[in-house]
Amino acid sequence: MFSGRRLLRQYCKIFDNPQDAIADITPGSTIAVGGYRSCGVPENLLRALNHLGSWDLGIYSMSSGHKDFGLDLLLQARQIKRLTTTYLEPGSLAYKEWKNGNIELDIIPGGTLADKIRAGGAGIPGFYTQTGVGTKFEEGGFPIKYMTGGRRVEILSGPKEKRSFEGVENLFEESIRTQFSLIKAYKADKQGNLIFNKTARNFNPEMATCAKVSIVEVEEIVEVGELDPDHIITPSIFVNRLIKGEKYEKPTEVVEEDEGTDDRVDPDRLKIAKRALKEIKEGMYLHLGFGIPISIVSKLIPDKSKVKILTIPGALGVGGPAEKGQEDPDLINALREHIKLMPGSAIVSSCDSMNIMRGGHLDLIMMGAYEISRNGDIASWNVEGEHEKGIGAAMDLVSSRKSKLVCTMIHTRNGKPKIVEECNLDGLTGRGVVDTLITELGVFEFKREGGMTLTEIARGVSVDSVQANTGTSFLVASDLKKMD
C-alpha cells in the first residue's frame, strides 16, 4: 500500500540518559538551545554535551548562559566556534571570549532571532521586518570575530537587504534551520507531546521546530493519554528524542545593571520614576524595559491588577515580586527576578511576547536609554568604550510606531549630556521613535510641531540650566508646567 513512498518516522525515542541522546552530535554541528538565561534551560543535555567534548559548535540561543551553568560550560571548554545570540553582559565569559578572538559572535535583535528560528521550523525561507532599520544592524560592520588577542577585527557583519512596504522600510532576514535542538519542557507523554511550566516555556517551543533532530529533556514522562490535548503546547511531531532529566539546579540569578540601566533608588531616579508612573493608566497593556522602568517604576504601581504588564520571558499580567519562600524558578521577569502573576494573567512563548511588542498591540512601552537625539532617536544597547552588551529586545520594542514609547534616563553622564544632536550609530536602537523623554530635569515631547519640546520642568530648575546640560537645542512649550 505504501510502496514507492517514503515511510514516515516513528514516534520519538525515549533514552535512559542524556549521554546516549546526544551521542551523534559531532564537531561542527549546529544546535538551537532553548531557555532564557537560567530559566527553561536543557541543563542535563548541555552537561552531557560538555562531557561529550564535541567542538567547533554553532550555537543559536537567546542568551549566553549563567556562570558555571548551561552554555557557560561549553564556553569554558572552548567547544563553541560561533554563538548567535541577542544579549551579552560585560564581564561574562562569552564577552571575554569574543573580545579575545576565541569565538565568533553574531548579535541579533531578540524578536528577529526568535522569528528566524520560527520561520525555519515553518518552512519559510525568510521574511521582512522593521526591526533594526537605520541602525548598525542594517548597515553592517559590527565585529563578529576578532583576531587572537582582540587587537584587530577579522570578520565584520554585512549589510542587510532592504525593501519598502506601504512607505515603511523593512530589512530582509533569512530563516534558521539547525541540525539539532536541545529543549527543556516540564512534562511529556511517551509519544513526545510536551507541556511547559510558566516562563520556562520562553523560546523552547520555537526552538523545537527548527532542527532536523529535536532532543528534549523533561522533568516527568507520563503515559499516553494522561496529558489533556488542550494543554499540549508542542506536539510529538516536533520531538525526535526524549529523556527524563537526572537533576535540575535551576539557579537563581538577578541581573546587575550598569549606570545606564541600574536600580539604585537615588533621589533623581526616584523623581524620574514617580513622574513616569503618571504615564500608566488603568486598563493599559504595557511593557517596562530595563533601567528605571522595570527596576523602580514597576514597584511603584499601586494596583497591578488594573494593568497588564508584559515581560520578555512570556508572562502577561505580572504582579509584584514573589513572597519569600514562594519563589518559583520557572516564573521570572526580564531581570530574572522571581515574580507572581495577577488573576487573569496568561503565559505565552517569548516569541509571541516579542510579536506582541513589534505588532503594536501594547498601549505603552517604557524603557531606559544611554542617549536620545533631538529627532527622537534612541541609543540603548551600545556606547563605544563604555557599554557593549548586545541588542536584546530593544530594537523590537521600538520598531512599532503604534505603541507610545516613553524613555527614562538621567540627564547627564559623567558631566556630559545624554540628550544629543545625533546618537552614536554603533549603539543606535531606532530612529525617530521616542514620544516622551523623562529626566530629573524635565519632560520632553518629540511629536509636537517643531520637534523636541520641553513641556515640564522640575521644581527649582531653570530653563537655562536644562539647556546648559543638554547637548542640542530644543523648544520650550508656551504652557510649560512644573514636573511633579
Residue owning grid cell 539547525: 178
Task: Give 84-113 pLDDT, tens digit per residue.
Answer: 999 887 778 998 999 999 999 999 999 999
* Average pLDDT of the residues of the chain: 91
Higher-scoring residue by pLDDT: 247, 384: 247
For the chain, what percent of residues have pLDDT higher than 70?
Answer: 93
Tens-digit pLDDT profile for residues 181-191: 999 999 999 99
Residue with cell 542568551: 63
Contact 199, 335 (CB under 8 A): no
Integer CA distances (angstroms), 213 to 32, 177, 204, 376, in order: 10, 11, 14, 45
Residue pointed to by grid coordinates 530559566? 39
426 or 3, which is more confident:
426
Amino acid at 118: R
Whose CA is closest to 157, among 179, 173, 177? 173
Q: 362-417, pLDDT tens digit by residue?
A: 999 999 999 999 999 999 887 655 555 678 888 999 998 899 999 999 999 989 99
Reduced to 3 states (helix: H, G, I; strand: E, B; else coil), residue 160 is coil
Backbone phi, psi, residue 255, to 5°: -65, 135
Nearest to 311 by CA among 397, 408, 234, 196: 397
* Whole-number pLDDT of residue 63: 83
Strand arrangement of the beta sheet that strand 419-420 belongs to: 419-420, 371-373, 378-379, 428-430
The confidence band for 149, taking pLDDT boundaries of 50, 70 and 90, is confident
d(CA 447, CA 467): 20
Residue carrying the nine cell digits 488573576: 343
**What is the C-alpha to C-alpha distance for residues 79 and 477, in angstroms, rounded to an integer?**
58
**CA–CA dist 279, 404 (Å, integer):** 10
Query: Residue 361 has what DSSP assignment?
Result: -
pLDDT 10s digits, 210-239: 999 999 999 999 999 999 999 999 999 999
pLDDT tens per residue across span 412-438: 998 999 999 999 867 899 999 999 999
pLDDT of residue 1: 41
β-pair type (475-483, 453-458) = parallel
